[in-house]
Amino acid sequence: MRIFSGIQPTGRKHLGNYIGAIRQYVAGQDRGEAIYCIVDLHAITVAYEPAALRRSVYDTAAILLAAGLDPSRCIFFRQGDLTEHPELCWLLSSVTAYGELTRMTQFKEKSGQQRELVSAGLFFYPVLQVADVLAYRATEVPVGEDQRQHVELMRDVAERFNARFGDVLVAPEVRTPAVGARIMDLQFPDRKMSTTGGSPQGTVHVLDEPEVVIKKFRSAVTDSGSDVRRGPDKPGISNLIEILAAVREISPEEVEREFDGSGYGAFKQAVGDAVVDCLAPVRERYDPIRADERTIEGTLVEGAEKARAIASPTLAEVREAMGVGPVRPGG
């Protein structure tokens, strides 16, 4: 099994990122050949500062390494180090339908937030995601629930390419956590937790100090009544149940049984305490790792070399199948 996933370079990773993606990355190292990249090319599709982007790449790398990514057990690299990704993106655009891109939920959300310029890159973002994964012939993509639509596009593009040009690419399967695939904002439980669009008090960051985390959970929006149970009429409590189940790695039903009759105050405190304990190892390891930028850079460069050894042959086969560029020796 080959696993691939990419993560946006922002050091302000939140609890939803950690549960929905980062913990899956770490676990994937024990399940197959794991390949992970920091997608700096995706980050330039919205307004950004170049110097801040470089810092954020190191911030994100440090968080992933602190969370348990081991470069000796996975391939970990920076997307922008490989020209294979954007080239394959362009080649695969020929088998990606315009209509498919117009239906992408994230494009609709992000384009609505852009005041000065909605870039063509933002529209094309999903095609680059397709190339990121198909370049490695990955069989599995661990993501949060909000990325499921993009993985379905990867499958459609791979199948369309193979039907037209021959069996070259692999259609990957999506993998989302059984619990915690979509963590919601603590203040607005009808929206997903988000670094850019979330509320300050409703977004728990991986590097938040323990007292900050506890305060955010104590002030989390709940619902009418006092029963700790899930339901369509209880989005706030349902979200907290999901969070506690995810960080403890138990079922939501077990959480409901444990806190039956306990009331919201005690329950919110318990969730906050559990999240603090879950994030503590990452927070403790982060600073020493982040301080050593030379080692981080070396790790990313070494990972890029390993990634190129896989992506380059795939790109060569795609070019050959499409009749693009010079004829390969023996082709």
261 and 166 both lie in a single domain: no
Mean pLDDT of 105-126: 80
Looking at residues 11-19, what average pLDDT do you find?
89
- 23 & 111 share domain: yes
Q: Average per-residue pLDDT in the chain?
A: 93
Determine, yes or no, domain membership for 144.
Answer: yes
In this structure, what CATH number is given to the domain that contains residue 278?
Answer: 1.10.240.10
Does residue 182 sit within a domain? Answer: no
> What is the structure's pLDDT at 331?
57
pLDDT at 330 over 80: no
- pLDDT at position 303: 98
SS3 for the chain is CEEEEEECCCCCCEHHHHHHHHHHHHHHCCCCEEEEEECHHHHCCCCCCHHHHHHHHHHHHHHHHHHCCCCCCEEEEEHHHCCHHHHHHHHHHHHCCHHHHHCCHHHHHHHHHCCCCCCHHHHHHHHHHHHHHHCCCCCEEECCHHHHHHHHHHHHHHHHHHHHHCCCCCCCEEECCCCCCCCECCCCCCCECCCCCCCCCCCCECCCCHHHHHHHHHCCCCCCCCCCCCCCCCHHHHHHHHHHHHHHCCCHHHHHHHCCCCCHHHHHHHHHHHHHHHHHHHHHHHHHHHHCHHHHHHHHHHHHHHHHHHHHHHHHHHHHHHCCCCCCCCC
Judgement on whether residues 102 and 238 belong to the same structural domain of the protein:
no
Cβ pair 289, 62 in contact under 8 A = yes
Domain shared by 278 and 301, yes or no: no
**Do 101 and 171 belong together in one domain?**
yes
- 123 and 17 in a common domain: yes
Of the CA atoms within 13 Å of residue 62, those in its CB half-sphere come to 24
Reply yes or no on whether the pLDDT at 197 is more than 90: no
Examine the domain organization and report whether 261 and 304 are in the same domain: no
The verdict on 278 and 302 lying in the same domain is no
pLDDT at residue 82 greater than cutoff 80: yes
Most confident of 41-50, 147-156, 188-197, 302-311: 302-311
pLDDT of 275 higher than 80: yes
Q: Is the same domain home to 283 and 303?
A: no
Residue 204 lies in a domain: no
Using left for φ > 0, alpha for ψ between -120 and 50, and beta otherwise, residue 198 falls in beta
Q: What is the pLDDT of residue 139?
A: 96
The mean per-residue pLDDT over the stretch 148-160 comes to 94
C-beta atoms surrounding 220 within 10 Å? 24
Q: pTM, whole model, 2 decimals?
A: 0.91
Mean pLDDT over 98-103 rounds to 91
Cα–Cα distance for residue pair 83/298, rounded to 1 Å: 19
pLDDT of residue 161: 98
**Who has greater pLDDT, 120 or 198?**
120
Into how many domains does the chain fold? 2
Q: Is residue 186 part of a domain?
A: no
Average confidence (pLDDT) over 245-273: 94
Residue 254 lies in a domain: yes
Domain-located, residue 308: yes
Q: pLDDT value at position 204?
A: 97
Give the domain extent around 253: 210-287
Q: Count Cβ atoms below 10 Å from residue 194 Cβ, excluding itself.
A: 18
What's the average model confidence in pLDDT over 61-88? 97
For residue 327, name the pLDDT band (cuts at 50, 70, 90).
confident
Asked whether residue 165 falls in the same domain as residue 237, the answer is no
Whether residue 6 is found in the same domain as residue 139: yes
Confidence at 176, pLDDT banded by 50, 70, 90:
confident
Q: Is residue 98 located within the same domain as residue 247? A: no
- CATH number, domain of 142, equals 3.40.50.620
Query: So what's the pLDDT on residue 86?
Result: 97
